[in-house]
Amino acid sequence: MDKILVTGGLGFIGSHTVVELQNEGYEVVIIDDLSNSSEKVLDGITAITGKAPIFEKLDLKEKGKVEAFFAKHSDVKGVIHFAASKAVGESVKEPLMYYENNIGTLIYILKELKKLPSVSFIFSSSCTVYGQADELPITESAPVKIAESPYGNTKQIGEEIIKDTCKISPNIKAIALRYFNPIGAHESVEIGELPIGVPQNLVPFITQTAIGLREQLSVFGEDYPTSDGTCVRDYIHVVDLAKAHVVALGRLLKNNNKANYETFNLGTGTGSSVLEVLKSFEKVSGQKLNYKIVDRREGDVVAAYADTNKANDELGWKSQLTLDDAMSSAWKWEQKVRALE
C-alpha cells in the first residue's frame, strides 16, 4: 500500500488521522518536532492499530533536513500536512514565528514535492479563512475575508501558495480541508487532545474545569444575536474529521479529483452555541459545570457552521458522530490523562 507522510502526525488531528490511515492499510511516516505534542502519542496509535508508524523527529524549518527526508523517502505517494502553529491569540503576539513556522515550512515541503513524479497533498486549513461569513451555512465559495489573526492569514496564504504551485506543477494534486471546530477523542481513549498550558479552546477548558484542573470556565459573552446569546460553532468529532482525510487522499490517489487544487469544508452542518455545548457536557458526564459569563473575546465571530453538501456529494463523506459522542469521548480522555499523572 502507498507510503503516506503525515507532518504533525503526533498532534491532535494528526494522530487520529494516522490511526485511520493505518486502518486503511497505508504505510505511514510521521514527521513531528514535538513542540506541541509528545512521543508518547506513538504508543497510543500503536495500541489502537497494532502497527507502530515510522516516526522521525524533524523541524521542518530546517531546509536541509527536509531535503534529506525526501531524498530518503522518495517513494512517498501522499502528504498530509498538519504541522503548524495554531493558537489564534499567540499568533497576534508572535506573527513572525507564525509566518516562519506555517508558511516557511510549507514552501520547503512543496519544493520537495515538485521533484516527485506524482504526489497527492492534503492541506490542513480552517474555517477561519471565512472570518464572519455573510451567509450561513458557509459554502466553499463564500468569500475569503481579511484574516482576523496572523494564524488565520497563514491558512489563507498557505492555500494561495498551494493553488499557485499546483498550476505549474501538474505532478502535485492538492486538496485544502477547511476544518470547523474539531473536538473529542478516539473511543479507545488511547489518544486525544493534549493542550499544553491553559487551553485556549472551549472543550478542553470544559473538561479541565470539570476534572478540577481549572477553577471555573469563563463563557465569553452572552449578548450575541444568537438563540441564547452565546457564539455558535460547528463542532465536529475529530474521528469524523480524520476519516475525511483518508477519503480526500483516496480521491487524489485514484485521480478522482476534478481539478488540481480543490477545497472542502469539513463540519457537521449544525451550529451549536457555547451554552448548548456546556449542556451536552453536563448531560453526558453527569457533572455540573462551574462557569460564569464574562465579556466577549476579541476576534470571535458570532456564528460559523458548514454547508456540507460539497463534501457529502463529491467526497461521499458525512460526519457520523454527534456532539454528545464528542463530549463524552473528550470527558473520558480527560479522566484518563489525569489518572495517569
* Catalytic annotation, residues: 151
DSSP 125: E
Question: Which residue lies nearer to ligand WQD by CB, 202 or 249?
Answer: 202
Residue 219, interface with ligand WQD (CB under 6 A)? yes
Return the residue of 16, 77, 186, 233 that touches ligand WQD, per CB under 6 A: 233
Nearby residues of 329 by Cβ (< 8 Å), 6 or more positions away: 184, 185, 186, 187, 189, 192, 237
Give the x/- contact pattern for ligand WQD in 107-146, rule: CB under 6 A.
-------------------x-x------------------
Question: Which residue lies nearer to ligand WQD by CB, 146 or 340?
Answer: 146
| Min dist. Cβ of residue 68 to ligand WQD (A) | 29
| Min dist. Cβ of residue 36 to ligand WQD (A) | 12
Q: How many residues bind ligand WQD (CB under 6 A)?
A: 18
Residue 45, interface with ligand WQD (CB under 6 A)? no
Question: Which residue lies nearer to ligand WQD by CB, 218 or 287?
Answer: 218
CA–CA gap between residue 330 and residue 327 (Å, rounded): 5
| Of 14, 10, 5, 242, the residue nearest 120 (C-alpha) | 5
DSSP 171: T
Residue 86, interface with ligand WQD (CB under 6 A)? yes
Question: Which residue lies nearer to ligand WQD by CB, 17 or 128?
Answer: 128
CA–CA gap between residue 233 and residue 8 (Å, rounded): 25
What's the helix, strand, coil split of the chain in %, to 5?
A: 40, 20, 40
Return the residue of 145, 297, 325, 335 that touches ligand WQD, per CB under 6 A: 297
Give the x/- contact pattern for ligand WQD in 175-214, rule: CB under 6 A.
------x------------------xxx--x---------
CA–CA gap between residue 129 and residue 127 (Å, rounded): 5
According to DSSP, the residues that pair with 3 across neighbouring strands are 27, 76
CB 156 within 8 A of CB 192: no
Helix (H, G, I), strand (E, B) or coil at 136: coil
CA–CA gap between residue 173 and residue 301 (Å, rounded): 32
Question: Which residue lies nearer to ligand WQD by CB, 126 or 319?
Answer: 126
Torsion of CA 112, 97, 264, 25, to 10 degrees: 50
Residue 283 half-sphere exposure toward CB, CA atoms < 13 A: 11
| Min dist. Cβ of residue 50 to ligand WQD (A) | 30
Return the residue of 24, 300, 314, 325 that touches ligand WQD, per CB under 6 A: 300
Largest CA distance in the chain: 56
Residue 12, interface with ligand WQD (CB under 6 A)? no
Question: Which residue lies nearer to ligand WQD by CB, 46 or 200?
Answer: 200
Return the residue of 66, 231, 242, 253 that touches ligand WQD, per CB under 6 A: 231
Q: Which residues bind ligand WQD (CB under 6 A)?
A: 86, 88, 126, 128, 181, 200-202, 205, 217-220, 231, 233, 274, 297, 300
